[in-house]
């Protein structure tokens, strides 16, 4: 286990392994998203109150779950950076921020568009909506912070601290619908209880959710790989890899 973790923290090993995994992750993501979206748009039943607008759920819910999940991974990577100073964890964090931000943007956009026909408004300063907007600002702040600090080590630590401190927002997002009287409905899904909606309505969510997770890992791993190559370009393994990709003899 420790041996495996140690290897996982090594950029050359990470680069080689993810190179093998990526095509499979990408293919599985495309397949699951294709199935989920087709199922959700064409075959899932409409809601007796909302009609067809309920189909927005198949992208809104997975994007919102992933937006928070990505932040937790970012904070987890932050702890690894602060405690063990693993270089790769910071590369992963750097890759996570823009992708997580884009997922938050999708959750906000689709929620807002869904809000118009169901609530009669695109936006309301309700606790759930506001806390998710803060999540977006945390992501954007993280990207800006990294860009503003020139020294890599200092940037890594600053971003890690911001990521860990920003974790307080995650339970606020989750419980906002219970603590405050929000326009946003409380959660319809939980791990322990059966969902209140019929299975033919929530089943398409599963391929959409897993597909989006795999898509997330696909693009984040790709970003992490490029960052690893860039930051380690003076090292032997990265030089060899760059020469191989450029098809020049070398590997000095």
Partner 1 sequence: MQFDSMAAFISMGGHGRYIWTAYGLTFAVLAWNLLAPWLAQRSFLADEARRLRREEPGEGET
> Locate tokens 């019929």: which residue?
198
C-alpha span between 206 and 113 (Å, rounded): 22
Q: How far is the CB of 2 from partner 1 (least distance, A)?
A: 31
Task: Give the tokens for residue 224.
Answer: 């992490």
Binding mask 64-103 for partner 1 (x = CB under 8 A): ----------------------------------xx--x-
* Contact with partner 1 (CB under 8 A) among 25, 32, 61, 63: 63
Q: How far is the CB of 51 from partner 1 (least distance, A)?
A: 5
* Residues 9/89, Cβ–Cβ less than 8 Å: yes
Query: Which residues, 233 to 252, sit near partner 1 by CB under 8 A?
Result: 233, 242-243, 245-246, 248, 250
Task: Give the tokens for residue 75.
Answer: 């904070």
* Contact with partner 1 (CB under 8 A) among 28, 35, 37, 65: 37
Q: How far is the CB of 105 from partner 1 (least distance, A)?
A: 6
Query: Which residues, 107 to 126, sit near partner 1 by CB under 8 A?
Result: 109-110, 113-114, 116-117
* Contact with partner 1 (CB under 8 A) among 59, 64, 132, 173: 59
C-alpha span between 199 and 104 (Å, rounded): 27
> Locate tokens 């884009």: which residue?
102
C-alpha span between 137 and 134 (Å, rounded): 5
* Residues 50/119, Cβ–Cβ less than 8 Å: no
- Determine the interface stretch with partner 1 among 53-61, 75-83, 126-134, 163-171 (rule: CB under 8 A): 53-61
C-alpha span between 73 and 68 (Å, rounded): 9
Binding mask 132-171 for partner 1 (x = CB under 8 A): ----------------------------------------
Q: Alpha helices of the chain — where are they, by DSSP H?
A: 2-8, 11-38, 57-84, 87-119, 127-148, 152-166, 169-179, 199-202, 205-231, 236-246
Residue 216's closest CA among 55, 33, 41, 39?
A: 33
| 131 makes contact with partner 1 (CB under 8 A) | no
Which spans of this chain sit near partner 1 (rule: CB under 8 A)? 37, 41-46, 51-53, 55-56, 59-60, 63, 98-99, 102, 105-106, 109-110, 113-114, 116-117, 215, 219, 222-223, 225-226, 229-230, 233, 242-243, 245-246, 248, 250
């Amino acid at each position: 286990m420790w041996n495996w973790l140690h290897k996982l923290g090594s950029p050359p090993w990470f680069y080689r392994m993810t190179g093998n995994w990526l095509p499979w992750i990408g293919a599985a993501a495309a397949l699951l998203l294709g199935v989920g979206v087709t199922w959700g748009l064409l075959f899932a039943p409409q809601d007796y109150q909302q009609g067809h607008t309920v189909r927005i759920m198949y992208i809104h819910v997975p994007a919102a779950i992933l937006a928070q999940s990505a932040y937790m991974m970012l904070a987890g990577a932050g702890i690894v950076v602060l405690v063990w100073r693993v270089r790769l964890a910071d590369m992963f964090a750097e890759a996570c921020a823009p992708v997580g931000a884009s997922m938050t943007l999708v959750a906000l956009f689709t929620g807002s568009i869904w809000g118009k026909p169901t609530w009669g408004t695109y936006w309301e300063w309700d606790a759930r909506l506001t806390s998710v907007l803060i999540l977006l600002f945390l992501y954007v702040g993280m990207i800006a912070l990294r860009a503003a600090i020139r020294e890599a080590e200092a940037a890594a630590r600053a971003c890690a601290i911001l990521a860990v401190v920003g974790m307080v927002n995650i339970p606020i997002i989750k419980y906002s619908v219970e603590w405050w009287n929000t326009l946003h409905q409380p959660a319809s899904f939980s791990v322990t209880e059966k969902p209140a909606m019929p299975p033919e309505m929530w089943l398409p969510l599963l391929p959409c959710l897993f597909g989006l997770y795999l898509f997330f890992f696909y693009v984040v791993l790709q970003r992490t790989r490029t960052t690893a190559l860039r930051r380690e370009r003076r090292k032997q393994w990265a030089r060899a890899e760059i020469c191989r990709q450029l098809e020049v003899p070398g590997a000095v």
